[in-house]
Each structure stands twice: as structure tokens, then as C-alpha cells.
């Protein structure tokens, strides 16, 4: 088990453009599954390649269990990277592919053979030894790539977009496999993804990156309940935003004043954020304002309403039964659950 | 093209057959020229090599010319020399070309300039290169005089024979010089298309630089290297002018030997000349077949 620490990690490819990775500080916990999440081009894969030793950082440091590993070549780091497009060696059999790392370590042939068989069992592809990579489906290739990495018993496992090339049902299988192997072997695992759902479902902790900079490093639910900026909340999607002024646990907006004990800021200009599930219709009380229903959709498991509140429109996700209670154009009381309101600082000016 | 295909389809041909016919018709002029000039020459040459030469009263077919050259010690030595020239120069050029391509692969400042220099001698004719080798490496050449000046040898006469020598060193130097960029440019293109990710995987899995090259990069580029070197081998095996300029008087390279027999005042030596030319043609054809086989396998994987 290895703790990975990134400090001030920076990578500049081209002096004319902004850094691909900018002053990144991150403590990746030992034995945990950490996601590097962000839109494409945000520096996730670059960060991963620097950890693996395949790219040299421009500045900053990477350490495993407190010792800097920058001067250690990739083959001796014990950080194995599995690429997005698997990259099985095309001219080798599956057994040769999986055994590659052991062969490089000059492990005895017999032992390689036994361990390859064990690995094929682990990834649930027994008997695949003599096939060639091109005879395998994408999902199978992915598992072989995983087996090839795991056989060398890495201290740190790095997975680049492990699920993005797979079909929906294979994705679930692979996700479970990664989770299971990770828990069983307890390997410190970092995976890169652009899909917030994937990160939320799979990771113990998520590091969200925009433009090479760390935005928030937290447990998955924190990104929904207490995102640190409007941009972060927008990336996770679905949230209502109402600009206002925050003071003394209350936020004053153009549509009224709301109690909001939970906040990322102390006071001043701020944004009220509330997820559609925390908006209720029809029951007057504290934190309520009158609104007019503009449209609604019945989805089956739930119903989604769009409601106008003065000059603002919010979305409410409610019990499906409510479609029978309200019609478009109705005036209804709209309530924001004060414990679900999260006050964020105003959107950054440069965005 | 599409219009034409459709019209032909109307005649009852399948679309595939129609397309094939169109291509054949379009290629016909080129094929005709190749058939007439190349195959015509080859057939005439083959007939001559079998002793059929009505002009000087030889009307019978026989294998005399072949049995003469295959039992002639001079021919055997020429064949071995020619094989040595082609094989050694191709091997050295391939190794150096792969090494150069590996060095040229990473992005660096001034890369385009270096690449330009690297491929510059592709445009220089073999003959000019041969003259260069003469100036540099002959007994009275620049290298020999510099070595004398530096006190490495007593006089230019003490310089080891590198031109017109029995080991064909001058010829091999010239071929290596000329063929490195040819193979190198092909290998570099393959290296760039394969990318560095496979190597990264190998390094990440615990291979050091050399192991990654030996076990991953080399097998990936090998089909390309083999294809390029087979072309070079076939060319160097059949080329005339370089061994003619830089070769020793005995044994001579096969193409030189064939040409000299052909231009011999004794017309009766012509069948032998043609028999030698046939041997060269067969060797070249075998190489081309090998090339096609290798490149087809490469395309498939």
C-alpha cells in the first residue's frame, strides 16, 4: 500500500499556452480508489503519466510514502498504467501479454505460466492463454490489460478512462471487477475519467480538475451537497442557481429571502444553489415563495416541473403523483428545504 | 467514375466486376508498356540464355550457358561477392537506419532541419556518391592523406585498400551511405504511426529502455524494416554502376561480369551473359516475392 503525494506538480508543454497541469497538490490515500475527474484536456492523463514516470514534470514533486520518486525511472516505480485503448502487444499471445512484466523481471518461466493462469481466473477469462489480442472483444482486451498490470503487483495502479470504450452493460461489469479487485488487493488506485457519474459510483474520493487546476478534492457526495464553486456545481449538473446577497445565515434574492445555514462563504454576493429534488411544490411554510408552473414532464419514477418565480425559472423533481395535482399555469407555493440549500461564492469573473 | 460504373452495371456486370474492368482499362497503357519493354526484354534474354540466337546460327535450345557459368569458379566467386555486397550493406544500413530513426523520433528544436539533412542524399545519384567514396577512401584519397598527415600511417600507400578491394568495402560504404535514409525514412514513418504508447506500456510494466525497444518497438517496426531492406537488397544485388566503379578486378560483381560478357567481342559468350542476367533477375524476383509476403502479413496484423 502506497500513499501518493503530489506537491506543486506542474507540466508545461508549450510556453505559449497555459500549463497542462498547474500547481497541483494532492494527497492520494493509500489503498483507496481515487478519481481524477474533469473535462477532456484538463490535465488528468498528463498527471497520471507523470505519476507513472512517462512524462517529466516541469516543476513540483511526486512522492510515494513520503519519498520523492522523480529520479526513479518508470520501470522501477511500481506504478503501472493501463491505457485507455488497452494497447495489448498485437504480435504476442494473451499469455505473453500478461506475462510481459514478469518476463522483464526475469522471473522463472514456470512461475510466469502459473501466475498468468491465476490472473486469467481473476479477470474471469480462463483458458485465453493462446489467443491473440485481435481475437478478443474490447471488454475482454480491457480485462487482459488489467491482468497484465496486476500481475506485477504494483504499488500504485493507474487506470486511464477504464470504462469509456465499453458498452453500457460491459461498463457495469468492468466497474464491479475494478472495485472487487481493488478491495481484495488493496492497491492504491487512481483512475482518470471525464464522466462524473463514473467517478461518483466508483471512487472513494474525487479530485476535480479544470484547466490543469484542482477545483475540489472530496468524497463523491460532497460534490452534490457542498460544491465549492458554481462551476463545480454546474459540472455535476442539474442544480438550480439563484444569485443574491448572503448575510447572517440568510440569502436575499430577487424572489425573496431564504434561510440557508449551509454555506461555502461567510457573506457578501453569493449564489443560492438547490438541487431539483430539494424543491417541493404545493406546501406553504418557511422558505416558500409563490411560483407559476410553466411545464412538466412525467418520467415514470418521478416528475419534473419547470416553475417560474418572478424573473427566475427553477426545476423541481417530485413524486410522480404530483402531475395529477397541478396543471401548467397554476400558481403554487414553492418551498426550498433550508438544509438542502447550499450557498456558493459568485461565479468567477473569468469564466 | 461512378457514372461509368453505373453504365457498365447496366450491361449485366456486377458492380464489383464493372469496377475491376474500369481499373483494368485505365491501367492498360501502363501495363502494355511494361509488358512490351520489360517482359519482351526478359523473354528475349531468357531465350538467348538457352542458346537460341538465330542471328549467329544458334537455333537449338540447351542449358549449356547455365552449366558453364555454374561450374565456373569465377562465376561462383562473383555470386558470393555480390551476395556479400548486397547482404552486408543492407544489414549495416538497416541497423544504422533504425538507430537514426529512433534518434530522430522525439520532437526537438531544429528537427525538420535534421530530417532534411538526413534525407538529403536520397536525391544524390549513386554515381556521385561513388565518386565521393573514391575521393575519400582510395589510396590517394582524402582519408588516406589525412591519416598520413596525422602520422597514423607512414605513407598513403600504407592505407588499407578500401576501394577496388576484394572485400568490396568501398562499394558497401557507398550503398550504406545511400540506403540509410531510404530505410530510415520508411522506419521513421512507421515509428511515428505506431506511436510511443506501446513503449510507455512496456516501461510502465517494468521494461527498461533497451528491453522496451527489443521486446516491443523492434517487433512492431520489424515488418517495415524487412520490407525496406528487401527492396534495398534486390537493388544492390542487381546494380551495375557502383561495383563497376568501385569494385575489384577479380572477382567482379555479377552485374559487371554479365555486362562484360555481353559486350565481349565473342558473340558466343552472349548466352552466358544472359544466363547471368537471368540469375540476377531470379534473385531479385525472389526478393520481391519475399517483400510482398512480408508486407502482406504486416498489413493483416
CB contact under 8 A, B198 and A89: yes
CB contact under 8 A, A80 and B208: no
Determine whether the interchain pair B301/A134 forms a contact, defined as Cβ–Cβ distance below 8 Å: yes
Q: Which residue of B has its CA nearest to A147?
A: B205
Interface membership of B210 toward A (CB under 8 Å): no
CB–CB contact A75 B207 (8 Å): yes
pLDDT in tens, A315-348: 999 988 888 888 899 999 999 998 999 999 887 6
Lowest mean pLDDT among A48-62, B67-81, B234-248, B281-295: B281-295
Q: How far is B105 from chain A (nearest CA, A)?
A: 16
Name the minimum distance, in Å, from the CA of A131 to any CA of chain B.
14
Q: Which residues of A touch B197 (CB under 8 A)?
A: 83, 85, 87
Q: Between chains, do B203 and A53 touch, taking CB under 8 Å as contact? A: yes
Find chain B residues with C-beta within 8 A of A100's C-beta.
Answer: 202, 205, 207, 215
Q: Does B198 touch chain A (CB under 8 A)?
A: yes
Mean pLDDT of A251-275: 91
Taking only the tens place, the pLDDT of each residue in A112-142 is 999 999 999 999 999 999 999 999 998 999 9
Asked whether the beta carbons of residue B198 and residue A149 sit closer than 8 angstroms, the reply is no
User: Which residue of chain A has the CA closest to B300?
Assistant: A134
Taking CB atoms and an 8 Å limit, are B203 and A75 in contact across chains? Answer: yes
- Chain B, nearest residue to A96 by Cα: B215
Q: What is the pLDDT of residue A161?
A: 92
Mean pLDDT across A16-23: 91
Residue A35 has pLDDT above 80, yes or no: yes
**What does the pLDDT read at residue A348?**
62
Report whether B178 contacts B209 (CB < 8 A).
Answer: no
What pLDDT is recorded for position B57? 76
A151-209: pLDDT as tens digits? 999 999 999 999 888 888 888 888 999 999 998 889 999 999 999 989 999 999 999 99
Among A26, A27, A4, A14, smallest CA distance to A58 is for: A14
pLDDT at B3: 47
B299 touches chain A (CB under 8 A): no
Closest-approach residue (CA) in chain B for A54: B200
Question: Of the candidates A90, A101, A103, which has its C-beta nearest B301's C-beta?
Answer: A90
Chain A contacts of B216, Cβ < 8 Å?
89
pLDDT tens for B158-198 read 888 888 888 899 999 999 999 999 999 899 999 989 889 99
Using a CB–CB cutoff of 8 Å, tell me whether A13 touches chain B. Answer: no
Q: What ipTM is given for this predicted complex?
A: 0.83
- Asked whether the predicted pLDDT for residue B276 surpasses 80, the reply is yes
Q: What is the pLDDT of residue B5?
A: 45
Whole-number average pLDDT of chain A: 91
pLDDT value for B10: 54
Tens digit of pLDDT for each residue in B216-232? Answer: 999 999 888 988 998 89
> B108 CB near a chain A CB, below 8 Å?
no
Confidence of residue B141 (pLDDT cuts 50, 70, 90): confident
Question: Mean pLDDT across the stretch A227-253?
Answer: 91
pTM: 0.80
| Beta carbons of B204 and A53 less than 8 Å apart | yes
pLDDT at A144: 96
Q: Which of B205, B219, B301 sits opposite A104 (nearest CB)?
A: B205
Mean pLDDT over B46-63 rounds to 83
Q: What is the 3-state secondary structure (H, E, C) of chain B?
A: CHHHHHHHHCCCCCHHHHHHHHHHHHHHHHHHHHHHHHHHHHHHHHHHHCCCEHHHCECCCCCHHHHHHHHCHHHHHHHHHHHHHHHHHHHHHHHHHHHHHHHHCCCCCCHHHHHHHHHHCCCCCHHHHHHHHHHHHCCCCHHHHHHHHCCCCCCHHHCCCCCCCCCCHHHHHHHHHHHHHHHHHHHHHHHHHHCCHHHHHHHHCCCCHHHHHHHHHHHHHHHHHHHHHHHHHHHHHHCCHHHHHHCCCCCCCHHHHHHHHHCCCCHHHHHHHHHHHHHHHHHHHHHHHHHHHHHHHHHHC
Amino acid at each position: 500500500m502506497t500513499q501518493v503525494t503530489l506537491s506543486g506538480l506542474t507540466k508545461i508543454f508549450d510556453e505559449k499556452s497555459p500549463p497542462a497541469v498547474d500547481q497541483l497538490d494532492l494527497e492520494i490515500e493509500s489503498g483507496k480508489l481515487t478519481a481524477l475527474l474533469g473535462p477532456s484536456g484538463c490535465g488528468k492523463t498528463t498527471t497520471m503519466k507523470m505519476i507513472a514516470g512517462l512524462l517529466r514534470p516541469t516543476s513540483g514533486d511526486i512522492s510515494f510514502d513520503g519519498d520523492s520518486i522523480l529520479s526513479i525511472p518508470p520501470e522501477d516505480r511500481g506504478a503501472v498504467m493501463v491505457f485507455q485503448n488497452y494497447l495489448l502487444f498485437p504480435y504476442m499471445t494473451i499469455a505473453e501479454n500478461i506475462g510481459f512484466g514478469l518476463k522483464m523481471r526475469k522471473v522463472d518461466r514456470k512461475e510466469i505460466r502459473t501466475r498468468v493462469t491465476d490472473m486469467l481466473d481473476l479477470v474471469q477469462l480462463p483458458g485465453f492463454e493462446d489467443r491473440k489480442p485481435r481475437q478478443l472483444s474490447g471488454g475482454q482486451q480491457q480485462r487482459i490489460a488489467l491482468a497484465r498490470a496486476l500481475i506485477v503487483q504494483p504499488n500504485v495502479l493507474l487506470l486511464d478512462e477504464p470504462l469509456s470504450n465499453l458498452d453500457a452493460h460491459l461498463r457495469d461489469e468492468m466497474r464491479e471487477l475494478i472495485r472487487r479487485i481493488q478491495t481484495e488487493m488493496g492497491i492504491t488506485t487512481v483512475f482518470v475519467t471525464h464522466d462524473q457519474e463514473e467517478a461518483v459510483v466508483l471512487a472513494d474520493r474525487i479530485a476535480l480538475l479544470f484547466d490543469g487546476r484542482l477545483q475540489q478534492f472530496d468524497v463523491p457526495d460532497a460534490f452534490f451537497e457542498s460544491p465549492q464553486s458554481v462551476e463545480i456545481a454546474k459540472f455535476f449538473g442539474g442544480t438550480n442557481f439563484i444569485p443574491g446577497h448572503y448575510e447572517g445565515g440568510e440569502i436575499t434574492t430577487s424572489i425573496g429571502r431564504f434561510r440557508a445555514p449551509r454555506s461555502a462563504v461567510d457573506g457578501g454576493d453569493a449564489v443560492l444553489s438547490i438541487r431539483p429534488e430539494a424543491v417541493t411544490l404545493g406546501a406553504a411554510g418557511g422558505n416558500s415563495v409563490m411560483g407559476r408552473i410553466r411545464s412538466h414532464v412525467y418520467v415514470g419514477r418521478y416528475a419534473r416541473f419547470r416553475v417560474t418565480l418572478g424573473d427566475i425559472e427553477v426545476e423541481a423533481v417530485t413524486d410522480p403523483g404530483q402531475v395529477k395535482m397541478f396543471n401548467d399555469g397554476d400558481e403554487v407555493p414553492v418551498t426550498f428545504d433550508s438544509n438542502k440549500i447550499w450557498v456558493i461564492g459568485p461565479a468567477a469573473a473569468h469564466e | 467514375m461512378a457514372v461509368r460504373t453505373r453504365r457498365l452495371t447496366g450491361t449485366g456486370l456486377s458492380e464489383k466486376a464493372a469496377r475491376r474492368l474500369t481499373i483494368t482499362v485505365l491501367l492498360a497503357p501502363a501495363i502494355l508498356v511494361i509488358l512490351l519493354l520489360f517482359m519482351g526484354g526478359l523473354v528475349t534474354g531468357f531465350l538467348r540464355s538457352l542458346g537460341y540466337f538465330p542471328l549467329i546460327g544458334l537455333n537449338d535450345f540447351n542449358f549449356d550457358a547455365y552449366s558453364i557459368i555454374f561450374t565456373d569458379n569465377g562465376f561462383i566467386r562473383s555470386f558470393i561477392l555480390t551476395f556479400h555486397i548486397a547482404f552486408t550493406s543492407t544489414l549495416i544500413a538497416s541497423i544504422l537506419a533504425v538507430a537514426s530513426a529512433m534518434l530522430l523520433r522525439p520532437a526537438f528544436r531544429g528537427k525538420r532541419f535534421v530530417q532534411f539533412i538526413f534525407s538529403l542524399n536520397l536525391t544524390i545519384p549513386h554515381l556521385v556518391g561513388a565518386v565521393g567514396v573514391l575521393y575519400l577512401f582510395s589510396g590517394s584519397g582524402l582519408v588516406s592523406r589525412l591519416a598520413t598527415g596525422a602520422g597514423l600511417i607512414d605513407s598513403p600507400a600504407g592505407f588499407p585498400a578500401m576501394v577496388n578491394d576484394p572485400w568490396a568495402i568501398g562499394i558497401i560504404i557507398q550503398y550504406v551511405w545511400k540506403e540509410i535514409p531510404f530505410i530510415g525514412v520508411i522506419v521513421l514513418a512507421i515509428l511515428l504511426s505506431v506511436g510511443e504508447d506501446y513503449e510507455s506500456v512496456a516501461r510502465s510494466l517494468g521494461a527498461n529502455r533497451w528491453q522496451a525497444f527489443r521486446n516491443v518497438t523492434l517487433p512492431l517496426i520489424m515488418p517495415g524494416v524487412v520490407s525496406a531492406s528487401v527492396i534495398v537488397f534486390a537493388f544492390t544485388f542487381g546494380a551495375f554502376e557502383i561495383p563497376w566503379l568501385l569494385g575489384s578486378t577479380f572477382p567482379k560483381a555479377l552485374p559487371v561480369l554479365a555486362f562484360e560478357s555481353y559486350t565481349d567481342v565473342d558473340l558466343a559468350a552472349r548466352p552466358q551473359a544472359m544466363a547471368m542476367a537471368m540469375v540476377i533477375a531470379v534473385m531479385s524476383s525472389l526478393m520481391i516475392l519475399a517483400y510482398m509476403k512480408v508486407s502482406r502479413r504486416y498489413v493483416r496484423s
